[in-house]
Structure 1
Amino acid sequence: MNRLRTILFATFFYILSVPIVMSVPVSALFGRRAVIRHAHVWARMHRLLYRYIMGVRVRVEGQVPAGTYFFAAKHQAMFETLELQLLLGDPAMVIKRELSRIPFWGWAAMRYGGIIADREASAGALRSMMRAAKALKAEGRSILIYPEGTRVAPGEQPPLQSGFAGLYRALALPVVPVALDTGLVWPKHGPKRPGVVTIRIGETIPPGLPREAIEARVHDAINVLDRERRDYRMVQAPPAA
């Protein structure tokens, strides 16, 4: 059943995504806000499909603060790349350079407010990323980054990439960590399954902290659901004979 649900979801999602993405140039004629509204159509379509085909529900813990922030989120699935755009209020998003090169989609992402992160992390690439982020901040946009750099399976907790600390220093914005467990129902490989996704909005962290301090606090906060799940399993495990 889960395999059939996954096939149905993928079929409807990609068929409906083509005209949405291909029509971005029309929205772009009316400025960035029109592109953002256009992106909301895509994200809401995704929301309807995961609810009514996959049987997935989202539980949000905590509140998204009003204002301009630097959001740092766990990344386990494509699911959150669309869902967080709605939940967090249109943040500009740091994306891998490879994604910006996808025909048509990459152009649309940049019009929305994409900020390119280069895996090589050269000085020039980092400066370019910071300039783009500062320009979007000046427009009143919050910034969203997946500081571990890529999708990881539930339970994996890689160190934060260097670009996070550089942006934290350059933007001088409070950081809001976002923990989530989307990988439990939306694995990278294999069929997706129904269930409840938890997205936890963490406590705001002030700007200006030393690198080691901000990285430690963010890493801890975005991985809190993994830690709680591990601790629960340990408590529930039968005692050794």
Structure 2
Amino acid sequence: MADAIQWIRSLIFMIVIYAWMLVLGIVFAPYALFAKKGALQACKLYARTTLWLARWMVGIRFEVRGTVPVDEVVIGAKHQSFLDIMIIFHAVSHGKFIMKRELLWTPMIGLYARRLGCIPVNRGKKGAAVAKMVKDVATEFAEPGQLVIYPQGTRVAPGARKPYKVGAAVLYEGLGFACVPAATNAGVFWPRTGVMRKPGLAIVDFLDPIEPGVEREAFLTRLEEAIETRSDALMREVGFDPDGVH
């Protein structure tokens, strides 16, 4: 019975947050079209509201640990669900995301992603996509912000293992900025698929930065070890065993 009630609460929560996304998107659209500040304010409000509703409606609390980056950096983040996007975006001053190109054609999301300075990537053309991504990012960083990239390229279920791709290293080399690894356990409570949302403490932990100048292979090794080790620890902290997933 408790699971059934939680599922119903989760379904209502999902309907509410997507309806709220549509309302905010429409209300702020004129402002966002003429001023990037309008897009940022709308998305910040949406993130705050979603995190508040998550606690109130389905019992998901959140916590940010470590030193939140405020300078121009690359954030290499573990990506388990929509929730870790919301927490990171809420925490940093001006987050910009590397995102799949298809999302640009999503109603509302595409408009605001463009105005925030998010960088679309064509996954089907890997070499060309990485080269264009570096060029686009260099152009976009004429304005300050924190660039978030998911080194595994997609959402990965808690405990699942997926290789780290070269894109994060190419950005790190090309931009010459430090890279801040970010670990999370968000997928334990807000999975990448399905309706059910589980109560608990979702954490994003900003780890020690990797300073510029580290060789590519060594960089990727350090990034993966930092993110995976800490993410596993965060999952164990809330009672989920990542080693038990096959």
Evaluate the alpha carbon distance shift between residue 4 and residue 166 of structure 1 in structure 2; reply closer, same or farther with a 3 A threshold: same
Shift of 1:83: 2.0
Instruction: Give the root-mean-square deviation of aligned CA atoms.
Output: 2.1
**Cα deviations by residue, 1:18-51 (Å, 9 ceiling, x for unpaired):** 1112334312244212211111111112112101
Correspondence for 1:33: 37
Q: Is the 8 A contact 2:169 2:220 kept in 1?
A: yes
**Cα deviations by residue, 1:173-196 (Å, 9 ceiling, x for unpaired):** 000000000111111234111100
Match of 1:219 among 208, 224, 234: 224
Q: Is the 8 A contact 2:64 2:91 kept in 1?
A: no
Within a 5 Å distance, the mapping from 1:1-16 to structure 2 comes to 1-16=5-20
Within a 5 Å distance, the mapping from 1:159-170 to structure 2 comes to 159-170=163-174
Correspondence for 1:100: 104
TM-score under structure 2 normalisation? 0.88
Name whichever of 20-29 and 112-121 sits farther off.
20-29
Shift of 1:123: 3.6
Q: Which amino acid aligns with 1:200?
A: D
Within a 5 Å distance, the mapping from 1:31-110 to structure 2 comes to 31-110=35-114
Correspondence for 1:196: 201
Consecutive unaligned residues in structure 1, runs of 5 or more: none
SS in 1 for 2:58: coil
Moved >3 Å (runs of 4+): 121-124, 229-234
Shift of 1:227: 3.4
Correspondence for 1:206: 211
Shift of 1:233: 8.1
In 1: Cα distance, 2:38 partner to 2:111 partner: 15
Within a 5 Å distance, the mapping from 1:119-130 to structure 2 comes to 119-130=123-134
Percent of matched pairs sharing the same residue: 30
Consecutive unaligned residues in structure 2, runs of 5 or more: none
TM-score under structure 1 normalisation? 0.89
Correspondence for 1:178: 182
SS in 1 for 2:203: strand
In 2: Cα distance, 1:32 partner to 1:102 partner: 19
Evaluate the alpha carbon distance shift between residue 126 and residue 3 of structure 1 in structure 2; reply closer, same or farther with a 3 A threshold: same
**Cα deviations by residue, 1:100-136 (Å, 9 ceiling, x for unpaired):** 2223321221111110122124443223211221122
- Size of the aligned set, in residue pairs, is 235
